[in-house]
Amino acid sequence: MNIIGNVMTIDDQFSDSPELISQLSPEEQKIAHFIEDLLQP
């Protein structure tokens, strides 16, 4: 299972959507926030 790929797909479909992130599991939220930090300029 490619969690990073899944989060990137979610990010592409619902960019800047706090509501979507709140629907993820706690572990997925950690990964999503980690990736968001990596994507910051």
pLDDT per residue over 4-41, tens digit each? 556 666 556 555 556 666 677 888 888 888 988 888 87
Residue-number span of the structural domain to which 24 is assigned: 7-39
Domain count for the chain, please give it: 1
Spatial contact of 14 and 22, defined as CB atoms under 8 Å apart:
no
Tokens 């299972």 label which residue?
1
pLDDT of residue 5: 58
pTM for this predicted structure = 0.41
pLDDT of residue 14: 54
Q: How many residues does the chain have?
A: 41
The answer as to whether 2 is a domain residue is no
pLDDT of residue 26: 83
pLDDT of residue 41: 74
